[in-house]
Structure 1
Amino acid sequence: MIKEEKVPFETMVFSGITFKVINRHEAHNIIGDLIDFKNQKIYNVFEDTWRFPDYEENPIFLLAEDDVEMDLFEMDFSTEEHSHIFILGFIFKGNLMVSKLISSYDTDNSPALIVLGKTTTVNINLFGSVHYLGGGLQCDTLVGEYNHGELFVKGDLIAWLIYTDDMLLHFERFTDVQAIISAGRPDILICSNVQDTDGSIITVENYLPSTHKLSDIVDDAFLEFSSYGTEILGNNYLDVFKEGLSILDYDKKEKYSYADFRNQFINIIEVLSDNEELKENGKIVRHISGITYLFVPFDYEGKKYSQISEEISNGFNIRMRALWCHDDEEIMIILEYLDENGDPKYQWMNDENAQGIEFFCVKNAVMKTFEILTTPEVEDENDDEDEREYADYDNSFSLEEFAVQFGHYKLPEDLVKLYEFEQEYGVETYSECFGLTITNDKTGIKTWSEEEEFYNSFIEFAGANGSGSSYAYWLIDEDLNNCPIVVFGDEGGVHIVAENTKKLIQLLTLDTEISVDFDKAYFYQDEEYYEESENKEEFKDWVENQFNLEAIESNEDADEIVEEAQRKYKQKFNDFLVKFGIEISEEDE
């Protein structure tokens, strides 16, 4: 039984509004049954995590029972007058109308925003917690930042621009949305009513790729570029948000409405049709980190067609394509969600004049694919074979490319740090035979079981040894920080090896590849044959400085970490394997 906390006072003024002060139990009675689009509860105010910690003094929620209007709403954990309290979240039972900006406190951690009525504002910038807008949202621009945040919007969404930089945004429906843009991977999800195989109408939540580039709709003064060349918001756009002004450039209407798409597409077909690579190979194709960009001409039912397409795999299974019929001079644009065999599960199809955000996705894919397919080849002076700039076997992949295989899961910060270290020092240079990888499909895991529930329960992310074993997260929690790491042996055996990313990193300091057999996985450094990796000492120092962890010095130390993880997860994991008919060691039964 959780002891009910006392509130320090009955009411409190924040941003000029008098709120009722309530505790966790009262908040639970209001928001405890709120569900996402998969009928899972969103909030557990008793969970004692960074979102709703119990180690802060005087934790409270602020409740507004009636409609609220204010000029500017910037959330914070306390006020100057009441610096000794800790605000876990703001709950609005009615409508919330803010004339300029709604903003979270910090990208790492912020009070939660929960609005049961309609939310109306010019700009809304959220991060740092799980936020919920239950009665729809009307705004000019919505921005979501960083992977410590998540947003659910139920009801109608009316907005010019939805922009996310590594934050999951879930929407029930787009009533009137002009543009959606994910700075990295697809982080925007929308519910759609589609027809099932038996003819019934079902609601599914799908990732929706970007419909534009930022420069298509945002004033150029607010554009910056990441180190990977990606357009991102910058240049003090928050200052403009706080004034209640727009960062959008409405004079770019022809660009963001794709007003000239027909002529642009015809020109793209003409340029690609004259490409020498097409004449030699019958198609132009690039494979980049789980995405296939393709131009191909073909004949169908006596008519000549040309198709340009972008297909996103790695668990997304989205294909966007546009076709030009040379005989009829007609354009068809298609957004498809594919099953595991690559066949369409459901699709949106229409001509180039069709309205709807789904078709803007395809038009954006056409422009992006054309840019990639016309990128000049780059000759590697150190290799006799030609390599293209976008080669998917290049170890110097970007963080965005590495993140694609994680789907909607957020990269743990510890893994991001390891990625940055490896980019600086090189793969397999700091721990024997270890290196982060991009896995374009789940072919290896499918050799264990072809059941979708099984292979979608893992995300491979690294090579484990020199013979082909791999490390993967076992997806038992939405937060990968709470997911143990398993090793898939190349010749049999799959085992829990670490409680989390940090423990795996500590294991890597032994500088010995893992051995995997049917019965167990273990680390064994043979002193007679051991050769120290080039950057082992740099890695040891880095681990100590970054994580305050001592390097592993013996096989016994490594065994202790593996055994600790197995004590916690082994039985649960064995039960999971048996469920799919996978044989386990007799000593594990």
Structure 2
Amino acid sequence: MKEEKVPFETMEFSGVTFKVINRHEAHTIIGDLTDFQDQKIYNVFEDTWRFPDYEENPIFLLAEDDVEMDSFEMDFSTHEHEDVFILGFIFKGNLNVTKLISSFDTDNSPALIVLGKTTTVNINLFGNVHYLGGGLQCDTLAGEYNHGELFVKGDLKAWLVYTDDMLFHFERFTDVQAIISAGRPDILICSNVQDTDGSIITVENYFPSTHKLSDIVDEGFIELSDYGTETLGNNYLEVFKEGLSILDYDKKDKYMYTDFRNQFLNMIEVLSETDELKENEKIVRHVSGTTDLFIYFDYEGKKYSQISKEIGNGFGIRTRALWCHDDQEIMLILEYLNENGDPKYQWINDENAPGIEMFCVKHAAIDTFDKLMSLEKNEEDEEDDDDDTEYAEYDNSFSLEEFSAQFGNYKLPEDLIKLYKFDQEYGSETYSECFGLTITEDKTGIKTWSEEEEFYNSFIEFAGANGSGSSYAYWLIDKDLNNCPIVVFGDEGGIHVVAENTRRLIHLLTLDTEISVDFDYAYFYKDDEYYEENENMSEFHEWVKNEFNLDALETNEEADEIVNQAKSKYKQRLNEFLTKFDIEIGEDEDE
């Protein structure tokens, strides 16, 4: 790339005078920064949404000395210089911000790169890959959406680290009170462990949540998702901007687990009295790749009760909380498992041991207890294999009756019922990347396209399509859903025909890669260099072969053929339908 010229030497932002530099100068400063796998983090010449080259006057802003600010809310330009495009802010020294450090937008933001120590009250990041090389000290660190990623080297000191679908990488937790991922684990921490030859190696592992938000955050900032998951609401940013805290320090008994012993013994007592335990000698739930278990056993002449949680889907994390009836002691274990399910390394201690590793075990025990008690087995579970029971319950988050309610008077296709049963047995997102059946009855997402009843009643959403929020839906052009094509609603634009029917969609899922949805087109693309097989992919392929006599797709071209067949049959008709409601139609790449 030809070296870009800078429009001027210095520029003021948030009351600080920065040196204006181009990509080549930025590359000399940040080009060799690495993650915890010794892979380089930044390529400022990559021409992606992170560092695009289609904007006029692209620049980096550089602070060569320590910087102090009241607030630092990143933006791509300023009122004084609206004609520039700020790709990132680079601080060679320390960054001290009194109130808030914040990105610009969840989709896109300038990158934040600090080589020294970062200190603030609240820090809210997303929209790019950010790097804090000299440690971070704050009250609350929050991140959201998968267009962002954060690397923190050095010490992390924070009351709360919260992420909602954004990856955080940390070198070490020096003084951290609570780690919370809104969904799957999105936080990674480096640990020094002993290798098989006795040498000490550094490994990076996903770290499970240590609390619920309500254990440490003021209730006024918490919202509940449709599935009961606690997330931060939209009102916390105004508090962040004032440099105030969203934390409730009066909840110390909760976030310090001061009464865990009594709480744990009560959980053991309640679970031990259930009919399910007495009948089966264990209580177990498999939900979306996670296994929650209560069991009792004898070991070396002593009796134990154990509450455990195992997070699959490639994470390989298991937490175990054990009560020894003979010694009256509690043992807490955090384990990371190999591909065979055996521990690679583990942390073991008693209930009074310091360290956030034991907090995540305590949280998992409480969460598992709640799930075991709230998902009590229905008698129909014992008849799962009975063909006369059309609507059997499964050990998962919703029954077939609950799932079918969103279809109204439409009868579920037999192929979809079969897929439902497989999904419930093995767990969503465990057999085809980012795919899972969902319940969506209010049509909130579809109504964002058009509020006209004819439009939103012409679709039934039934599954998540990818990791960024796209969804699959039946387009209701026939009273029989077997004759209705599958469309995808893109989370960032675009409504496209994907498959002629349910079975065609199931065949597409065997490629084991999420669908990419743009305004102009939707497609499946598996990059062999970065592909990681889902844990239940083989079982899914075998199931598809047995049920439908279909071989798993092996190439992107095979997937294109299925999508193109659906497009040739329904695309023009769909476009004409969308145009009726003034929905803009993209230009397909093959037109």
Shorter-chain TM-score above 0.5? yes
CA deviation digits over 1:481-531, x for unaligned, max 9?
xxxxxx9795767632259xxx85x8436249xxxxxxxxxxxx9xxxxxx
Alignment of 1:61-80 (within 5 A): 61-80=60-79
Please say if 1:12 is aligned against 2:50.
Answer: no
Distance 1:419 1:24, change over 3 A: closer
d(CA) in 2 for partners of 1:212, 1:407: 27
8 Å CA contact retained: 1:109, 1:148: yes
Within 5 Å, give how 1:131-170 maps onto structure 2. 131-170=130-169
What SS does the aligned partner of 1:421 have? Answer: strand
Superposed CA deviations along residues 333-364 of structure 1, whole A, max 9, x for unmatched, are 10000011111000000001111111111111
Q: CA deviation at 1:434?
A: 3.5
Q: For residues 256 and 474 of structure 2, what CA distance do their matches in structure 1 show?
A: 39
Change (3 A) 1:473 1:219: same
Q: Is the alpha carbon distance of 1:429 and 1:294 closer, same or farther for their aligned partners in structure 2, counting shifts above 3 Å?
A: farther
Counterpart selection for 1:495 from 529, 554, 562: 554
C-alpha spacing 1:293/1:73, structure 2 compared with 1 (3 Å): same
- Deviation sequence 1:97-134 (CA, Å, 0-9, x none): 00000000011100000000000000000000000000
Q: Residue 214 in 1 paired to residue 252 in 2?
A: no
Does the aligned pair in 1 maintain the 2:288–2:396 contact within 8 Å?
no
Q: Matched residues in 1 for 2:281 and 2:552: separation?
A: 43
Q: 1:228 to 1:391 in 2, by over 3 A?
A: closer
> Amino acid of the residue matched to residue 22 of structure 1?
I
Q: Sort the Cα spacing of 1:404 and 1:307 in 2 relative to 1 into closer, same or farther, 3 A.
A: same
1:415 aligns with 2:453: no
CA gap 1:390/1:134 in 2 versus in 1, 3 angstroms: same
Counterpart amino acid of 2:158? A
Query: Quick one: structure 1 residues 70 and 180, their matched pair in 2 at CA, closer, same or farther if it must change by over 3 Å?
Result: same
Q: Distance in 2 between matches of 1:117 and 1:219?
A: 32
RMSD of aligned residue pairs (Cα, Å): 3.7
Classify 1:310/1:421 alpha carbon distance in 2 versus 1 (closer, same or farther; 3 Å): same
Tell me the amino acid that sits aligned with residue 556 of structure 2. V
Q: CA deviation at 1:474?
A: 3.8
Alpha-carbon distance between aligned partners in 1 of 2:369 and 2:44, rounded to the nearest angstrom? 48
Equivalent residue, structure 1, for 2:521:
none
Tell me how far 1:422 sits from its aligned partner: 3.0
1:475 CA drift (Å): 4.8
Say whether residues 1:548 and 2:555 are aligned partners.
no
CA contact (8 A) 2:290 2:311 kept: yes
Query: Aligned residue for 1:223?
Result: 222
Q: Give 1:219's aligned amino acid.
A: D
Residues 563-583 of structure 1: per-residue CA shift (max 9 Å, x gap): xxxxxxxxxxxxxxxxxxxxx
Using the size of structure 2 for normalisation, the TM-score is 0.76
Structure 1 residue 197 displacement after superposition: 1.1
Match of 2:563 among 481, 493, 508: 508
Provide the rounded CA distance (Å) in 2 between the counterparts of 1:226 and 1:418. Answer: 14
Seen in structure 2, the aligned counterparts of structure 1 residues 271 and 537 have a Cα distance that, compared at 3 Å, is farther
Once residues 468 and 36 of structure 2 are traced to their aligned partners in structure 1, the CA distance between those partners, rounded to angstroms, is: 32
Aligned residues: 493
Q: 1:379 to 1:319 in 2, by over 3 A?
A: same
Who is 1:297 aligned against?
296
Letter in 2 for 1:356: G
Equivalent residue number for residue 397 of structure 2 = 390
> Structure 2 residue aligned with 1:476, among 526, 529, 532?
529
State how far apart, in whole Å, the 1-side matches of 2:139 and 2:483 are: 48
Q: Is the 8 A contact 2:434 2:466 kept in 1?
A: no
CA contact (8 A) 1:427 1:434 kept: no
Asked if 1:244 corresponds to 2:247, the answer is no
Separation (CA, whole Å) in 1 of partners of 2:187 and 2:349 = 23
Q: Deviations over 1:406-437 (max 9, x none)?
A: 8999xxx9735885233897899523314469
Deviation of the 1:473 alpha carbon: 3.5
Paired residues for 1:221-370 under 5 Å: 221-370=220-369
CA contact under 8 A between 1:210 and 1:361: conserved in structure 2?
Answer: yes
Shift in Å, 1:229: 2.0
Q: Hey, what's the Cα distance between the residues in 2 that align with 1:299 and 1:192? A: 32
SS of residue matched to 1:140: strand
CA distance in 2, matches of 1:85, 1:422: 42
- Shift of the 258–548 alpha-carbon distance from structure 1 to 2, 3 Å rule, reads same
SS at match of 1:139: strand
Q: 1:378·1:389 contact (CA, 8 Å) conserved in 2? A: no
The alpha-carbon deviation at position 549 of structure 1 amounts to 5.4
Residues 402 and 438, structure 1, Cα contact 8 Å, conserved in 2: no
Q: With the length of structure 1 as denominator, give the TM-score of the two structures.
A: 0.76
Task: Look up the match of 1:93.
Answer: 92
Aligned partners of 2:313 and 2:429 also within 8 Å: no
Q: Distance in 1 between matches of 2:272 and 2:562?
A: 53
Change (3 A) 1:424 1:151: farther
> Residues of 2 paired with 1:247 and 1:234: CA distance?
11
For 1:262 and 1:304, the matched residues in 2 are separated by 18
For 1:478 and 1:59, the matched residues in 2 are separated by 33
Query: Does the aligned pair in 2 maintain the 1:379–1:387 contact within 8 Å?
Result: no
> Partner letter of residue 508 of structure 1?
V
Query: Does structure 2 retain, via aligned residues, the 8 Å contact 1:338–1:344?
Result: yes
Is the 8 Å Cα contact of residues 318 and 334 (structure 2) preserved in structure 1? Answer: yes
1:186 alignment partner, SS class: coil
Give the equivalent residue in structure 1 for 2:32.
33
